[in-house]
A and B are shown apart, each in its own frame.
Chain A
Amino acid sequence: MFIINCPFCGEREQSEFKAGGEAHIVRPKQPTELSDDQWADYLFMRKNIKGIQFERWVHAHGCRKWFNIVRDTSNDEIKAVYKMGEKPPTE
């Protein structure tokens, strides 16, 4: 079970959080202009990387805030935590 450093509350047990899948998939501003394939790409396609992955998490049993984390899925190490709207760390 991870310890996640919520950017609003600090370090908490994983059981207080819910995972929300891959981060930085922006909902298209004009969905009607998209082809079926483009829309399906947004809807269904996720990377599921072994290694460094950017993920959305929510402090469901805490402040209810969504934020992003950078996690190495091969060993579950959380490399960084940052707020929604902030730029993902590059290193």
Chain B
Amino acid sequence: MTKNLRVKSSKFIDETYRISFEFNGIKYYGFKGDTLASALLANDIHLVGRSFKYHRPRGIMTAGSEEPNAIIQLHNNSSRTEPNVRATEVEIYEGLEASSQNCWPSVNFDISGINNFLSPIFPAGFYYKTFMWPASFWKKYEYFIRKAAGLGKSPTKPDPDIYEHKFVHCDVLVIGAGISGIMAAKTAAKNGLKTLLIDEKPYLGGSTIYQNSQHFKINNQISSSWLEKEINEIKKLKNLEIKTRTSVAAFHGYNFLLARESISDHLPIEQRKNKTRHKLLKIRAKKVITATGSIERPLVFNNNDRPGILLSSAIKKYADLFGVACGNKNILLTNNDSAYETAISLIQKGIKVEAIIDNREKIHSKLLYNVEKNNIKIFKGFTIVDTSGYKRINKISIMQLSKDGQKVIGSKINLSCDCLGISGGWTPAVHLFTQSGGKLTFREEDQVFIPNIYPSTQLSIGACNGDLTLDEIFTNVPKSLKEFLNIKNTDYENIEILSSTNKSKRNIWLLPSDKILGKTKPFVDYQNDATAKDIKLALREGFRSIEHVKRYTTTGMGTDQGKLGNMHALGIISETTGVKMNELGTTTFRPPYTPLTFGTIVGRNIGEYFDIFRKTPIHDWHVNNKAEFENVGQWKRAWYYPKKNENMHQAVQRESKAARESAGILDASTLGKIDIQGTDASEFLNRIYTNAWSKLAIGKCRYGLMLNEDGMVYDDGVTTRLGENHYIMTTTTGGAANVMGKLEDYLQTEWPELDVYLTSVTDHFATVSVCGPNSKKILSQVIPDLDLSDENFPHMSFKNAKISKINCRVMRISFTGEHSYEINIQANYGKSIWEKCMEAGKEFNITPYGTETMHLLRAEKGFIIVGQDTDATMTPIDLQMNWIVSKKKYDFIGKRSLYRSDTIREDRKQLVGLLTDNPNEVLEEGAQIVADINKSPIEMLGHVTSSYYSPNLKKSIALGVVRGGKNMMGQKLIIPMEKKNINVTVSDPVFLDKENKRLNA
């Protein structure tokens, strides 16, 4: 039976509203306002998980987002399951199901707990050292390591929730709604600035809102009451927007921040329907005020990780805010005044404090005197040397610290307890500040890193700026707000403060034990099971940089990113190596501050919206005619049109034959189209294409090849001269945007004197390509007024025409090698023209073909596809396309590079045709090409770039790039495959109709 540890009621908990939830299959009750952690503690459950490496039992350690241990799996086996969730942040709701992670068969009996006793063989770098040899065994090790790795289980079903992204703009963003954040938000909003205040918690007021002690007063009011009034006031301010349950994940340059607003996580599942779960806010703030507070430090001593050991501040919060006692026999271990605040809270709530162990010897503290008055034994100058209790702490052993704090002296005293609070002072939460590029400085007096150099218009205030006490906050915050916001007055001048905290602290990074270090387990990183021993081992092995030590020991690399232990790791390194903390620096804090689910990151960009796609005006026809589609750039292009039970190969063979034997039709609307006008248009084309353009007659078309300045083929396409100063250029489908960008670049930056204007018109025209021996007959029916005779309309020419009063441009150009026309028409008529062609072509069995057939047909002709037969290493000479490179032109883009020492090498990879000895054997694209199979190491000469079975030639054809291929015509080469070697002969890349008879037929 579990006990009820609920103590005096708290106004944050609604005890009239009972909520049931399940943990590890057992039903428990909590109240509205509880987190999963507070509800579990109220049921006297501390043990919630097992540690990562040693599978040691671990309990709830904190009460916030810094939690390293109490990470659980929500709704296991459902599509909403989520791993590695911090129990300290989950608000309970009716029907919540949580389970422990990283344990089997159960958290109470975990077989891998044996690792704990084997820990001497698992030091830092264990995996690196052990699984290195023999190298070939890695495959076997990997299976087991992967099985043991990871904490929670990732969901296997699609996420049913809705996520959104939202842009937010404001004058002032205040991060953190603790006392400093509230003061900042009020000051900014009251001065007319559009202000956004956000906090990760469901309530406002930070830790002051439950500071109900007589020892902390503002203007003679208990600090929590004073703050409550402030909060009520700011809620009325018009300029202020407040977002709770919103966690800033990232603080980028130029005050660009990402925050996750959790909208429905705290609701019962059935109430979440049709609600957005998370909103990712993309915030652009003119000014940012960071008031993220501070995180209490643990202390590093032997066996400091048992369930029942919590941060002292967490015990206070559970008592004051949730009305929960973490134990019945509490002991506190501290090196500063904070633990006394906890003790006072516990006394107020009637929770028993057995003793306080204080590292400090001489303490003059008002808080301490008040605790002593209650007959609580205080051990001054003592430390804990060991603890016991496997699944819950039950005993501690304490000894006196030596003068220098490096040893323990005297005799051991044992004290029994069921809960231990530890306080090692405070660490300002500078994570966001450093993410933004801010530089820290180390403050020796209390051993903290605080903001020093700001990279953008931002300010850190309050505890995250090192102002850890109430009087420091009221001295410094109003002053810096006035300066930062450029205002004369705040509401916080001349405020009377009673703050009883004494700032003295005795900082010892690694507390000594009576045992030698090797026999102890002082944990630094709880989640990753890194101990002080591991850090010292790493240093002994020569690691010096904090970044290296971190990776070697995995300190700070868990899902909590070492929010608790990183400072101790630094401290121990600093002490051991003698390098000052300021010089050592911290490891880099990276976004996100707390983990984000993938759903939040992708928002609505899922499924068909993952990457937007473009459709041609004829798309619906392809869909209705059962086309399979292929992605080309952002376009969906018809790939092939299977009939009945045809597979891709069968469909492509049929389409290819039809196009050559009678007529084929292709949707070519995706090709990039750029309208080029201006008096220098011809000169411009001369400079960007490798061939000459000045003499191209109006009404003629020409194929052009475009290079990069390094001489490598960049794009190709046909450009048509529409008028004296007017051209239309076509580019490859995928290259259109880049070509446009490149042309604009040259025009604006290198040749601003040229009178040329570019307009992208890709989307304005639909392009229907009709090819094959019967294409002329079909076109004569579609455009009866157009004279299609070879004399009037030869290959590579263009005509303006009208189809039922609609203007269109017809080009006689061909990518298939067949007699072929391209009709370009205003996009919205595209589908009707396509249907007209289909109707007219019926008697000729006109066959729609897709990109696959197009690729096959052009390969038969040896036409290249830029990007398939080329990569960024092929010159036109490598492609055996010398004919297109003008010798006469003085200059064009890439010309000079064509005779660099590297580009004139004879043994460059060059494009060749490949014919298999067995005409039915089709090569695999990408397959390697070699000459000598017995040579070791085997020499790779190149690879296959395009390969098809040609139904028209009734044999397999392929294009490939081969080193020195140009001079290997007729030579035998080998394509070694997994199960066989395929013999091929190097051939001319043009396989069909070398004389271009079909084009002009």
Contacting residues, chain A, for B252 (C-beta < 8 A):
1
Bound together, the chains give a CA A43 to CA B710 distance in angstroms of 7
Contacting residues, chain B, for A76 (C-beta < 8 A):
253-254, 437
Is B446 part of the binding interface, using a Cβ–Cβ cutoff of 8 Å? no
Bound together, the chains give a CA A26 to CA B284 distance in angstroms of 36
Closest to A32 in B: B896
> For chain A residues 25-56, which have a beta carbon within 8 Å of chain B?
26-27, 30-32, 34, 36, 39-40, 43, 56
Bound together, the chains give a CA A65 to CA B749 distance in angstroms of 10
Are the CB atoms of A27 and B895 closer together than 8 Å?
no
Partner of A31, one of B254, B710, B744, B891: B891
Give chain A nearest CB distance to B576 CB in angstroms.
32
Give chain B nearest CB distance to A24 CB in angstroms.
10
Give chain B nearest CB distance to A39 CB in angstroms.
5
Partner of A2, one of B253, B437, B709, B901: B253
Bound together, the chains give a CA A84 to CA B455 distance in angstroms of 29
Contacting residues, chain B, for A66 (C-beta < 8 A):
744-745, 748-749
Bound together, the chains give a CA A75 to CA B750 distance in angstroms of 30
Contacting residues, chain A, for B254 (C-beta < 8 A):
1-3, 76
Are the CB atoms of B455 and A75 closer together than 8 Å?
yes
Closest to B711 in A: A43
Closest to B751 in A: A27
Bound together, the chains give a CA A41 to CA B318 distance in angstroms of 67
Are the CB atoms of A84 and B437 closer together than 8 Å?
no
Closest to B745 in A: A66
Is A60 part of the binding interface, using a Cβ–Cβ cutoff of 8 Å? yes
Give chain B nearest CB distance to A82 CB in angstroms.
13
Most buried by A among B254, B744, B745: B254
Are the CB atoms of B741 and A18 closer together than 8 Å?
yes
Partner of B896, one of A31, A58, A60, A65: A31
Closest to A56 in B: B749
Give chain A nearest CB distance to B633 CB in angstroms.
16
B887-927 to A contact mask, C-beta < 8 Å, 1/0: 00011000111001100000000000000000000000000
Most buried by A among B256, B748, B897: B748
B452-472 to A contact mask, C-beta < 8 Å, 1/0: 000100000000000000000
Partner of A43, one of B284, B437, B748, B897: B897
Known contacts being A31-B891, A36-B900, A40-B900, is A1 close to B253, with CB within 8 Å? yes
Is A79 part of the binding interface, using a Cβ–Cβ cutoff of 8 Å? no
Give chain B nearest CB distance to A8 CB in angstroms.
11
Is B752 part of the binding interface, using a Cβ–Cβ cutoff of 8 Å? yes
Are the CB atoms of B896 and A85 closer together than 8 Å?
no
B238-269 to A contact mask, C-beta < 8 Å, 1/0: 00000000000000111010000000000000
Is A20 part of the binding interface, using a Cβ–Cβ cutoff of 8 Å? yes
Bound together, the chains give a CA A56 to CA B891 distance in angstroms of 24
Closest to B899 in A: A36
Bound together, the chains give a CA A18 to CA B738 distance in angstroms of 12
Contacting residues, chain B, for A43 (C-beta < 8 A):
709-710, 897
Are the CB atoms of A64 and B752 closer together than 8 Å?
no
Bound together, the chains give a CA A1 to CA B745 distance in angstroms of 23
Are the CB atoms of A65 and B253 closer together than 8 Å?
no
Closest to B758 in A: A64
B725-757 to A contact mask, C-beta < 8 Å, 1/0: 000000000000000010011001110100000
Are the CB atoms of B744 and A64 closer together than 8 Å?
yes
Bound together, the chains give a CA A84 to CA B254 distance in angstroms of 25
Are the CB atoms of B253 and A36 closer together than 8 Å?
no
Closest to B890 in A: A32
Contacting residues, chain A, for B741 (C-beta < 8 A):
18, 58, 60
Bound together, the chains give a CA A20 to CA B891 distance in angstroms of 23
Bound together, the chains give a CA A3 to CA B741 distance in angstroms of 21
Known contacts being A58-B745, A66-B744, A66-B749, is A36 close to B901, with CB within 8 Å? yes
Give chain A nearest CB distance to B24 CB in angstroms.
44
Closest to A40 in B: B900
Bound together, the chains give a CA A39 to CA B895 distance in angstroms of 11
Contacting residues, chain A, for B890 (C-beta < 8 A):
32
Bound together, the chains give a CA A36 to CA B711 distance in angstroms of 13
Partner of B749, one of A32, A40, A84: A84
Bound together, the chains give a CA A22 to CA B437 distance in angstroms of 24
A58-91 to B contact mask, C-beta < 8 Å, 1/0: 1010001110000000011000000011000000
Contacting residues, chain B, for A13 (C-beta < 8 A):
284
Closest to A76 in B: B253
Closest to B893 in A: A27
Partner of A39, one of B284, B748, B749, B896: B896
Bound together, the chains give a CA A75 to CA B457 distance in angstroms of 13
Are the CB atoms of B750 and A27 closer together than 8 Å?
yes
Give chain A nearest CB distance to B757 CB in angstroms.
12
Bound together, the chains give a CA A2 to CA B896 distance in angstroms of 37
Contacting residues, chain A, for B437 (C-beta < 8 A):
75-76
Bound together, the chains give a CA A75 to CA B454 distance in angstroms of 10
Bound together, the chains give a CA A23 to CA B371 distance in angstroms of 69
Bound together, the chains give a CA A56 to CA B752 distance in angstroms of 15
> For chain B residues 38-59, which have a beta carbon within 8 Å of chain A?
none
Are the CB atoms of B897 and A39 closer together than 8 Å?
yes
Known contacts being A31-B895, A39-B896, A40-B900, is A58 close to B253, with CB within 8 Å? no
Give chain B nearest CB distance to A79 CB in angstroms.
14
Are the CB atoms of B748 and A84 closer together than 8 Å?
yes
Bound together, the chains give a CA A32 to CA B897 distance in angstroms of 9
Bound together, the chains give a CA A85 to CA B437 distance in angstroms of 33
Bound together, the chains give a CA A27 to CA B897 distance in angstroms of 13
Are the CB atoms of B901 and A58 closer together than 8 Å?
no
Give chain B nearest CB distance to A70 CB in angstroms.
16
Are the CB atoms of A20 and B745 closer together than 8 Å?
yes
Closest to B252 in A: A1
Contacting residues, chain A, for B897 (C-beta < 8 A):
39, 43
Contacting residues, chain A, for B710 (C-beta < 8 A):
43
Closest to A67 in B: B748
Are the CB atoms of A39 and B256 closer together than 8 Å?
no
Bound together, the chains give a CA A34 to CA B897 distance in angstroms of 11
Give chain A nearest CB distance to B621 CB in angstroms.
31
Bound together, the chains give a CA A13 to CA B749 distance in angstroms of 23
Bound together, the chains give a CA A13 to CA B256 distance in angstroms of 10
Contacting residues, chain B, for A64 (C-beta < 8 A):
744
With contacts A39-B900, A43-B897 known, what are 16 further pairs, Cβ within 8 A?
A2-B253, A3-B284, A18-B741, A20-B745, A27-B750, A30-B891, A32-B890, A36-B900, A43-B709, A43-B710, A58-B741, A58-B744, A58-B745, A66-B744, A75-B253, A84-B749
B-contacting residues of A (Cβ < 8 Å)?
A: 1-3, 13, 18, 20, 26-27, 30-32, 34, 36, 39-40, 43, 56, 58, 60, 64-66, 75-76, 84-85
The list of the 5 closest CB pairs from A to B, nearest first, reads: A31-B896, A66-B748, A1-B256, A76-B253, A27-B750
Q: Supply 12 A–B pairs (Cβ within 8 Å), ascending by A.
A: A1-B252, A2-B254, A3-B284, A31-B891, A32-B891, A32-B895, A39-B897, A43-B710, A58-B745, A64-B744, A75-B455, A84-B748
